[in-house]
Amino acid sequence: MEEGEGDCFHDVVIMGQNGIPRTVKIPVVQELARRGLEFLPKVFMKEHNCSHGDNITLPPPINMAKLGKWAEPDVRAQELAKLASCAKEWGMFLVSDHGIEKTSVIHGVKEAVEGFFRLPLEEKRASVGSYASVDNMGYGQNFVKSEDQALDWIDRLAMKAAPKEGVDEGRLHVWPQKPPNFSCLLGEQEAKIVVRDVLSTPGKSPVQVTEKYIEQARKLCDHLLQALAEALSLNPHAFIQNFDPESSEINVRVNYYPPCPQPEIAMGISPHSDASGLTLLTQFGSAGGLQVMNGRRWATVPWPCEELLVNVGDLVEIMSDGRLKSPWHRVVAMEEERFSVALFYNPPSSAEIQPVQGGDGCYRKVVVGDYVRHSYEVSPTLEKQAIAYAKKA
C-alpha cells in the first residue's frame, strides 16, 4: 500500500450529541481491499445475511426507437404499454436504442472512472474535495451519521454536472482534476474549459466524447419523462414541464465496490430510494449486485454490464400521485470488483412540484430542494421513510 495505515481514512462530519458538528475518520474501503484482508473489519459488519436475493426476470429492454415520433402507431402503443407495466411493477427498467453511444461514450465513461480509482489515495484526495453535508458532493462516503453505524463497503465520487452555474462555482471541489480527461469524458461542453490545454495534444482527443454523455443522457431522460406520462394516459408534458432546460439539475455519482472478503455479512449500499426524478445507471466490472424489494423479499436485478438501467425516483412518484413508485433497492457486496455510475436528473431545486390528480391522492406539493435535503437528513433508514415528507397528513 502506498500510503501509511494512518492516512487511509475519509474525513466525515457528523452531528454530535451536543448538536455541534465534529469530524470522524472513516476507513477508505479501496485501501482496505488492497491489503488482501481475509476478514471483514467490524465497522462494516451488518447484523444479518446480506447476500441472499430471489432471482427475477425483468421484461426485455424498452426500445426507445419504438417510442420515437416516427415509430408505427401500433408498435409505439405496444412499447408504451410495456413501459407502463414494467415501471409500475418494478419502478425500474432497462432501455435499448437509447441514443447514448456505447463504443465511444459509455466506454469513455468507463475509462474515466477506472482511471480515477487507479490513482493513489493522496492524488484522489488532492484532485477533488471530500463529501460536504450541504450538497452531498465529493469523494468518500456519504450518509454517515454516527460512529456506531455499520458502514457500507463502498467508496463514492459525486459531482455536479448541471446547471452550468453550479458546475462552475463548485468545479474545484467536485470535478476531479485527475485523470486529466475526467471532466471531458463525463462532462458537458462547459467542462472542456478546465482541460482545454490538455486536449490540445496530438492524437485521439477526449474532445470527441466531450458534450456527449451528459447531453445524451439528458435527452434520454427528457424522452422517458414524456413517454412515462403518456404510458400512464397523462398529458405528455405532465412530468417534463417541471424540468427547465437551463436550470434543471444533474448530479453524477460514481460507486466503487472493491472485492469484499466476506460479502455475506457486508452491504455495498444500504437500502434506499432515489431522491431524484429519474436515475440513469450503467455498471462496469461485475454484474449481479443490485437488488430490489419485491413484496417483502429482496430480488436480484438481471442487469448486464454496460447496459442502461433507469430507476423511477421519489420526485416522479410524487408527480405521478403514486401511479409510479420509486423502488426500494440496495447493492450487496461481492467478491469481485464492481463500478456503477448513477446520473440523477432533477427539476431545479427551487421548483415546486405537485401531483397530477387521479392517482393515490395522498401526495402534496413540495419544493424539490426541500425534499432532497430532507431525504439526505433522514437517510439511511430501515424502510422507505423519506417519501412520507411528501404525503398529506
pLDDT, tens digit, 9 for 90 and up, residues 67-116: 998 999 999 999 999 999 999 999 999 999 999 988 778 888 888 888 88
Return the C-alpha cell found at 315.
420526485
Residue 52, φ and ψ in degrees, nearest 5 = -70, 140
**How far apart (Å, rounded) are the C-alpha atoms in residues 203 and 193?**
19
How many Å apart are CA 364 and CA 275, to the nearest integer?
Answer: 16
H or E element at residue 161: strand 155-162
**Cell 426485455, located at residue:** 60
Q: Give residue 23's pLDDT.
A: 83
- In the 8-state DSSP scheme, what is residue 363? B
Give buried/exposed letters for 195-217 (b at 16+ CB in 10 A, else e).
beebbeeeeeebbebbbbbbbbb
* Angle at 234 (CA atoms; ends 232, 239), nearest 5 degrees: 95
Residue 176: the pLDDT is 64
d(CA 119, CA 158): 17
Ramachandran region of residue 215, left (φ > 0), alpha (ψ -120 to 50) or beta? Answer: alpha
In the sheet that holds 278-284, the strands lie side by side as: 62-63, 92-96, 308-312, 278-284, 338-346, 249-257, 155-162, 138-140
Residue partners of 241: CB distance under 8 A and separation at least 6: none
Residues of the chain with confidence (pLDDT) below 70: 1-7, 47-51, 129-136, 165-211
Q: Is 55 exposed, middle or buried (0-12, 13-18, 19+ CB in 10 A)?
A: exposed
Q: In the chain, what is the straight-line distance between the N-terminal and C-terminal CA atoms, in Å?
A: 54
At 173 the pLDDT is 38
Question: What does the pLDDT read at residue 191?
Answer: 38
User: Are residues 67 and 223 in contact, defined by beta-carbon separation less than 8 angstroms?
Assistant: yes
Which position has the grid cell 470522524? 24
Phi/psi class of residue 20: alpha, beta or left (left: φ > 0; alpha: ψ in -120 to 50)?
beta
Answer yes or no: are the C-beta atoms of 87 and 94 closer than 8 Å.
Answer: no
The three grid cell numbers given for residue 331, joined into one nine-digit string: 447493492
- The owner of cell 492524437 is 203
Predicted local confidence at residue 132, as pLDDT = 53
pLDDT of amino acid 368: 98
- Smallest CA-to-CA distance from 270 within 190, 378, 132, 127 is with 378
Q: What is the pLDDT of residue 391?
A: 97
> pTM surpassing 0.85?
yes
Would you state the pLDDT for residue 204? Answer: 34
* C-alpha closest to that of 326 among 334, 336, 316, 340: 316
- Which positions ≥6 away from 283 have C-beta within 8 Å? 289, 290, 303, 305, 306, 309, 338, 339, 340, 341
> What residues does 138 pair with on adjacent strands?
158
Provide φ and ψ at 272, rounded to 5°. -170, 165
pLDDT at 1: 30
Q: Any bridge partners for residue 162, and if so which?
A: 250
Quick one: pLDDT at residue 135? 57
